[in-house]
Structure 1
């Protein structure tokens, strides 16, 4: 999945106020760009790191660009633009690349089920398979030795999603939590109990209740996002 606009390499100077990042371009120009990530970005992006951004100097824009990728150690890249996860997963679902969720001729995004209060990322339906609700979570927290974890900060919203996925299963539908792992150094995923113990507890409860928990590797590269395949989830 190529980026809509070619990425520009830069050096990270700092991230602050959650949504702002200062960068330095190779020609020495310093800019403030948008940081499209609401999490703590733990272990992602230290001053001096090599990053990649999209730049757009159109009149009227508050900021001239968006931070997309960061290099974390030699040869490892992470995509910190969390909204990319849904875009990549949506395309992969359409192409049948995520095999446990293949075989659905119809796909809708941002769906609110009857009687529900929240929107789910995807609803897969049609054909002989039971309809499936899919909630996507972007994983970039690498703990070393190939282990990645979610979340990177206490996530009341993530906890709420797990409870709602359990309600979906109890209502007779299929439900799936899909970890989209956008870090080339992560080889397996587990709940970040040391960050959010309640999320870990709920994730295990959801899996026991019938919610399917999957992890899929997506390698970010400066020319696009490459879907790699399934990763083990350690519960």
Structure 2
């Protein structure tokens, strides 16, 4: 199951990150102001001199003419767009390619529940499902993927609301989509955000399903490759 990466893609050299949404990147010998579609810190990826892939965007209404799409890390290509996991997972669910998830009459992105909006909602005659989907780019030593790479109060809130939904009869799940292929295991990043790790552990014990999938990334596509083991502590 794959998603094509479309557009005018060009290689560049990362110079610096100006703020959460803006970076300076050298493209064809010219410094360009580039949009970063991921608010995570990504400090292990966004290093001065790193080879990257950007997409040229011809839109007169935009302040930037490029999007940062991918970063090379030790020859591994990492897709950094935090919107992609929702797209990948929705397509996989529609094509019935996710283990333990069958055919659904209703599949929708951005579903409201109480005061939150969850990434995907599913329903059929048997069950109603709420899914939260997280973009993972950080892989530490020993091929261990982890999330988050910055404290996330919003992420913690969503986990607790999934526990409430589970108590109310919903099926609830969290998918950690690792947008690179070099991870062999996943764990919540307790060092970075112990409260988030505690929330995930509590959710797991309450019956919220926790999954982690790695992706195969090439300059022109991203493919959901397979599920990997999760360590929750």
TM-score grouping bracket, smaller chain normalisation: over 0.9
- Asked if 1:188 corresponds to 2:185, the answer is yes
Cα distance in 2 for partners of 1:58, 1:194 equals 41
Corresponding residue number in structure 2 for 1:155: 152
Moved more, 50-59 or 145-154: 50-59
RMSD: 1.2
Which residue does 2:20 correspond to in 1?
Answer: 18
Aligned to 1:4: 6
Stretch of structure 1 that moved more, 95-104 or 14-23: 95-104
SS at match of 1:69: strand
Matched, 1:97 2:97: yes
Gaps of 5+ in 1: none
CA distance in 2, matches of 1:148, 1:106: 31
Contact 1:43 1:142 (8 Å CA) reproduced: no
Q: Which structure shows the higher strand fraction?
A: 2
In 2, Cα distance between the equivalents of 1:171 and 1:140? 33
Match of 1:50 in 2: 51
* Aligned residue in 1 for 2:143: 146
Structure 2 length-normalised TM:
0.95
Aligned length: 230
| CA drift at 1:43 | 1.4
**Structure 1 contact 77–185 (Cα < 8 Å) conserved:** no
How far off is 1:4 after superposition? 2.6
User: For residues 44 and 97 of structure 2, what CA distance do their matches in structure 1 show?
Assistant: 29
Residues 96 and 102 in structure 1, CA contact (< 8 A), matched pair in contact too: yes
Given the alignment, which residue of 220, 225, 231 partners 2:222? 225
How far the C-alpha of 1:30 sits from its partner, in A, is 1.8
Question: Is the 2:6–2:220 contact (alpha carbons within 8 Å) kept by the matching residues of 1?
Answer: no
Q: Is the 8 A contact 2:181 2:217 kept in 1?
A: yes
How far the C-alpha of 1:135 sits from its partner, in A, is 0.4
Deviation at 1:102, TM superposition (A): 2.8
Q: Aligned to 1:169, what secondary structure does the other structure show? A: helix
SS at match of 2:107: strand
Tell me the CA shift for residue 93 of structure 1. Answer: 1.3
Instruction: Give 1:140 shift.
Output: 0.8
SS for the counterpart of 1:161 is helix
**Are the aligned partners of 1:45 and 1:72 in contact in 2 as well (CA < 8 Å)?**
no
Residues 111-167 of structure 1: CA deviation (Å, up to 9, x unaligned): 113xx111111111114x311111000111111211010111111011101100000
Q: 1:3 to 1:14 in 2, by over 3 A?
A: same
Structure-2 residue corresponding to 1:40: 41
Residue segments in structure 2 that go unaligned for 5+ positions in a row: none
**CA displacement, residues 46-72 of structure 1 (integer Å, 9 cap, x when unaligned):** 111110111023323210010010000
Residue 100 of structure 1 and its aligned partner are, at CA, apart by: 2.1
Deviates more, 1:52-61 or 1:183-192: 52-61
C-alpha separation in 2, matches of 1:151 and 1:111: 22
